[in-house]
Chain A
């Protein structure tokens, strides 16, 4: 019996999803730019606690860099330090 084809069994659908996602990411940067431009010209109010919140794409940059650092530190620093055999405590 052949199994039913599921959504992501087709690599094309995965590609489509990724394309939509990348488009959203770019779109967000554009929206952020427009928003900051309007705020700068006092069309809409922009509440910022810190100066850097007025930089274009601050949160995007921060989120991206934070996660890259998180993964790299976990993989190359933490894991070599703490990883042990699965039965480490049972020995």
Chain B
């Protein structure tokens, strides 16, 4: 079919149903189905969603005026479509993967979460974007909590707090931006003015920028087996989309991205929990995308988007294989695993495909997208005044070698080979194998025939990844990384996996927060107690005084008068007692009250 006929067919069956609604509403109905019908129904949702998606012509739909704001609930262009495609694909694959878990909370949360991501990428204005951005947090935190362990609950709370904060920062940015420009349009921003900086920062939290990142490595490994696969796909990639939409060509992003690509690989080498290793390598991969967006040329943004597309597939695949291992063995630490190629050969094979893809081996998907970002950096580094980009290129090359080292070799080696931990388990369940198989197939297919992916990228592509020099360079890089691993392992220098916690920036709020609390408690609590004592002393003293002050004043005056009149002894005591009681109970003889009143009036008369 030519593109004209496709377009004609599309307009004939055009729809403008929001993709987010299909997932969110469809997901809510999942608990009403039972048994096999439930599985079929869950598989139908992403399929219907995809059919709907490919029949939405590009443009703006559902434009509302809401209290003076112009809202566009659905905006479809090449950039949002690309993310829309991959979000549907990974949702379909993940649904197959989780069919066996029989956990309605996870199902509903998963669909809600995927729907929120779709809503955010198809949002045509900042307000709609923000609403779905918050929904994203809700869905994801439910996926973490549905693991139901105390650790997952605590990590979920921390995750929620960080993202609630990030959401508020984004909202504040949008409000400032709106009051400054009067526009809610989702369009190119420059970093000028508080509004755009706050939005930039708010998106950065979801994008897991360095120091803002630990919510990811903290919470993802604590989620359910299927939940982590969902999580790896949506939150960070929605942030990548937002950066590509709003901030392409922002120089600062290059340096942020370099930091993201470089630092996590060191952590990944010493981390024991293999899902946490993948979480660190997720940040590393997003780093490549952020650099691409920062470069901002057509090639670079294409590279960033293509890499996001591929990363969703191969990172999802790797998380699925580790999830399958965890499902069968109940273990996920490298120290407890090894030798599983014997009992889970298919999972092992799929894991190797995922590892080869993330490492960007020729013929695997990472190769055709990571190289676009690298080439874009190299191109731009020859421009006047862009010499610093040579350094960026060298660090990215270092990170590319490093990712092979920790994700490409470490994950398969420690789980499936290495020291045999003695697990004799069954191969992963069939639905998991099918899900992993589809993802693995797509990784190889995209790597081998990149033109299909290139045809849906935001800009026209004029790029050929398979040149001899490029293939040779990448193969050399990877083989010699592997050689280094081999030699270090054989010589015993390679750090043994150890059961340990590795501190990261979340220390600031997990322990630092506690310390600040203790310090403040140490200062403020005694201060509080002291103040309370003073106030209480003053209050009780004055209460004591004022309780019967009028009676005592009256007694003082009366006794002196009585003494003048010569009243003494028992009679005086009796009179004092009677007067005191009368004053306290307010039962004065009328004469006395009248005398006081008259005295008061006379006093007033004299004084005025």
Which residues from chain A sit less than 8 Å from chain B, CB to CB? 3, 6-8, 18, 21-22, 24-25, 28-29, 31-32, 35, 39, 44, 46-50, 53, 57-64, 66-68, 70-75, 78-79, 81-89
Chain A min CB distance to B338 (Å): 11
B467→A67 contact, CB < 8 A: no
Report chain B residues within 8 Å CB of A71.
269, 405, 484, 488, 493-495
B476→A59 contact, CB < 8 A: yes
Tell whether A89 pairs with B402 under 8 Å between CB atoms, given A49-B379, A62-B397, A63-B478: no
Which 4 A-B residue pairs are closest in the complex by CB-CB distance? A67-B484, A49-B378, A63-B480, A74-B269
Kindly state the separation between the CA atoms of A66 and B510 in the bound complex, as whole angstroms. Answer: 33
Kindly state the separation between the CA atoms of A75 and B267 in the bound complex, as whole angstroms. Answer: 10
Q: Which one, A67, A78, A86, contacts B501 given CB within 8 A?
A: A86
Report chain A residues within 8 Å CB of B541.
none
A70→B476 contact, CB < 8 A: no
**Chain B 201-244 near chain A by CB (<8 Å), digits 1 or 0:** 00000000000000000000000000000000000000000000
Q: Which one, B342, B478, B499, contacts A6 given CB within 8 A?
A: B342
Minimal Cβ-Cβ distance residue in A for B378: A49
Minimal Cβ-Cβ distance residue in A for B374: A49
| B265, B270, B390, B476: most-surrounded residue (chain A CB, <10 A) | B476
| B470, B484, B499: most-surrounded residue (chain A CB, <10 A) | B484
Which residues from chain B sit less than 8 Å from chain A, CB to CB? 265-267, 269-270, 341-342, 375, 378-379, 381-382, 390, 393, 397-398, 401-402, 405, 417, 424, 467-470, 472-486, 488, 493-495, 498-504, 510-511
Q: Which one, B270, B401, B468, contacts A35 given CB within 8 A?
A: B468
A-B interface contact total, Cβ < 8 Å: 152
Kindly state the separation between the CA atoms of A58 and B469 in the bound complex, as whole angstroms. Answer: 12
Minimal Cβ-Cβ distance residue in B for A67: B484
Report chain A residues within 8 Å CB of B405.
67, 70-71
Kindly state the separation between the CA atoms of A29 and B493 in the bound complex, as whole angstroms. Answer: 25
Minimal Cβ-Cβ distance residue in B for A79: B270
Tell whether A84 pairs with B488 under 8 Å between CB atoms, given A21-B482, A59-B480, A66-B401: no
Chain B min CB distance to A60 (Å): 4
B266→A78 contact, CB < 8 A: yes
B270→A75 contact, CB < 8 A: yes
Report chain B residues within 8 Å CB of A84.
500-503
Report chain B residues within 8 Å CB of A44.
468
Report chain A residues within 8 Å CB of B397.
62, 66
